[in-house]
């Protein structure tokens, strides 16, 4: 704040004086102000200012934000391609030299991203450099951790607010580890090594102010994901970046009573135990082991019900098509009641038995206001093959939400020539007593489809 005030005072003084186009007024600013300004530039550009003049030669040594991205530095548009060859040790030499010249006693942001074949044997020393200078935001991405553990002092840093780790790394935790001010944690890895599966929870327990956590990669060695935190507000579990050969986890246990935002991308686990009291939004995007689908179909349905129970407090809920497919695997099922659900998005991809799942969802969502099908209802004529052509007309008891709350329906990729999608649309229009807006993203291929759409609009 002191530096910002000083910069403002200098700017006001300069504004009060007459402008002389032949004077380099920027170079006349104090070193600490120029260093503060350079901190907002990419590190390669900040270092590049050293060639401007003798005045600027070492000003980059005062910067407090560091961003080293090997691919960017040595790309055709990077700042060092003409000065350095892209050898395996060049990046390490460049980072070491820049840090060696650093005069800042306090670092705000430190980011380093190594290329896949880079020599990043000094990564731990770079992390220690940032920690010793009270770094607030630390981001490290490398494939070179292998079996070497992260620096122990990383998990005792009192200044860290944001921590992002990406690569293959090992985490060893001391019993008294603590990150007292950490609010954002991101771990992205195909190979995370803990002493045991509970170490993830131990790590979280040492973060009393943690609000946002992102886990990415496959985490394929973890048959159980167990996370507990009273402070967490946002959680992303995105485990689909690396193909896992259809591996379904055994358990997902999440005790997060104050969670507001939840994104879950993974193969459907066998069992779920989730404590969410006040979700604002949840996004569920699952995969299924299709090769063994027939053998475990009932398990998929039961697992999906457990997962839906976990997110039943959400106000906004996104479900991908595999969720519908998993439910369709069971002989019968009963959904939880979504008492707070305002907006439901069902993104159909593949197969879904709408006769089984759609009425159930509508009956289980008493205050539903908006219903969205971004993937459409049917894609092929084969999906339109039902023996009972009067199913939707025989549904006598309409879901309460259709009579009292549902105002907006959007169906994308609407063909207009499949009987099933037309009957679903007509059912929603006829039973939707408070419906104010029906939006269709048309994908018509025939004159028949155009006529059916016109009839549907007149009915609405």
Question: Per the domain annotation, does 37 fall within a domain?
Answer: yes
Question: Per the domain annotation, does 156 fall within a domain?
Answer: no
User: Hey, is 323 helix, strand or coil?
Assistant: helix
Highest mean pLDDT, choosing among 19-33, 288-302, 395-409: 395-409
Whether the model pTM is above 0.75? yes
Contact 61, 88 (CB under 8 A): no
pLDDT digits (tens, 9 = 90+) for 236-257: 999 876 445 557 888 999 999 9
Question: Per the domain annotation, does 333 fall within a domain?
Answer: no
User: With 70 as the cut, is the pLDDT of residue 173 above it?
Assistant: yes
Place of tokens 């398990």: 299
- 370-373 and 316-320 as β-strands: parallel, antiparallel, unpaired? unpaired
Q: Which ranges in 41-134 belong to alpha helices (H)? A: 43-48, 70-73, 90-100, 123-132
Question: Which of 101, 96, 133, 89 lies closest to 112, judged by CA?
Answer: 96
Question: Per the domain annotation, does 153 fall within a domain?
Answer: no
Question: Per the domain annotation, does 48 fall within a domain?
Answer: yes
Question: Per the domain annotation, does 370 fall within a domain?
Answer: no
Q: What is residue 341's DSSP assignment?
A: -
pLDDT digits (tens, 9 = 90+) for 333-348: 899 999 999 999 999 7
Helix (H), strand (E) at residue 141: strand 137-142
Question: Which of 171, 184, 170 lies closest to 231, judged by CA?
Answer: 184
pLDDT the model gives residue 243 = 47
Domain count, the chain: 1
pLDDT digits (tens, 9 = 90+) for 178-231: 999 999 999 987 667 776 555 788 899 999 999 999 999 878 778 889 999 999
User: With 70 as the cut, is the pLDDT of residue 69 above it?
Assistant: yes
Under the banding of pLDDT at 50, 70 and 90, the label for residue 424 is confident
Contact 33, 3 (CB under 8 A): yes
Compute CA 222 distance to the chain's CA centroid, rounded to the nearest angstrom: 20
Cα separation, 262 vs 407, whole angstroms: 25
Whole-Å CA distances, 424 to 114, 380, 443: 52, 16, 17
Cα separation, 306 vs 329, whole angstroms: 14
Question: Per the domain annotation, does 53 fall within a domain?
Answer: yes
Question: Per the domain annotation, does 405 fall within a domain?
Answer: no
Query: Which residues span the domain enclosing 54?
Result: 29-63
Token pair of 272, please? 């779920």
């Amino acid at each position: 704040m002191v530096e910002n005030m000083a910069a403002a005072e200098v700017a006001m003084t300069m504004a009060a004086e007459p402008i002389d186009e032949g004077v380099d007024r920027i170079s006349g600013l104090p070193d600490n102000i120029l260093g503060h300004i350079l901190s907002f530039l990419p590190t390669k550009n900040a270092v590049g200012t050293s060639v401007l003049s003798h005045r600027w030669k070492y000003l980059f040594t005062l910067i407090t934000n560091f961003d080293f991205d090997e691919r960017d530095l040595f790309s055709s548009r990077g700042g060092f391609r003409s000065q350095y060859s892209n050898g395996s040790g060049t990046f390490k030499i460049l980072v070491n030299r820049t840090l060696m010249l650093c005069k800042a006693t306090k670092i705000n942001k430190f980011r380093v991203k190594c290329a896949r074949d880079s020599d990043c044997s000094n990564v731990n020393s770079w992390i220690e450099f940032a920690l010793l200078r009270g770094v607030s935001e630390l981001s490290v991405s490398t494939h070179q951790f292998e079996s070497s553990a992260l620096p122990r002092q990383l998990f005792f840093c009192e200044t860290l607010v944001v921590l992002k780790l990406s690569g293959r790394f090992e985490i060893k935790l001391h019993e008294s580890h603590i990150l007292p001010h950490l609010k954002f944690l991101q771990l992205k890895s195909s190979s995370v090594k803990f002493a045991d599966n509970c170490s993830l929870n131990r790590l979280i327990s040492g973060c009393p102010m943690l609000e946002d956590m992102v886990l990415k990669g496959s985490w394929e060695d973890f048959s159980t994901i167990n996370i507990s935190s009273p402070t967490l507000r946002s959680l992303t579990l995105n485990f689909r970046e690396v193909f896992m050969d259809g591996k379904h986890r055994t358990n997902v246990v999440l005790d997060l009573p104050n969670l507001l935002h939840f994104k879950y991308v993974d193969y459907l686990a066998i069992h779920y135990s989730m404590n969410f009291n006040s979700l604002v939004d949840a996004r569920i995007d699952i995969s299924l082991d299709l090769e063994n689908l027939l053998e475990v179909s009932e398990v998929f349905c039961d697992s999906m019900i457990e997962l839906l129970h976990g997110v039943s407090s959400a106000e906004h809920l996104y479900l991908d098509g595999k969720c519908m497919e998993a439910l369709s695997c069971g002989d019968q099922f009963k959904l939880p009641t979504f008492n707070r659900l305002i907006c439901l998005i069902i993104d159909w991809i593949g197969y879904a038995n709408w006769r089984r799942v759609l009425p159930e969802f509508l009956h289980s969502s008493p205050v539903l206001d908006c219903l969205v099908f971004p993937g459409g209802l049917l894609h092929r004529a084969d999906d339109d093959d039902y023996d009972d052509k009067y199913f939707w007309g025989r549904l006598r008891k309409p879901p309460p939400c259709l009579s009292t709350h549902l105002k907006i329906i959007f169906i994308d990729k609407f063909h207009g020539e499949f009987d099933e999608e037309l009957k679903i649309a007509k059912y929603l229009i006829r039973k939707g007593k408070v419906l104010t807006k029906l939006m269709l993203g048309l994908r018509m291929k025939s004159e028949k489809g155009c006529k059916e759409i016109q009839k549907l609009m007149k009915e609405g």
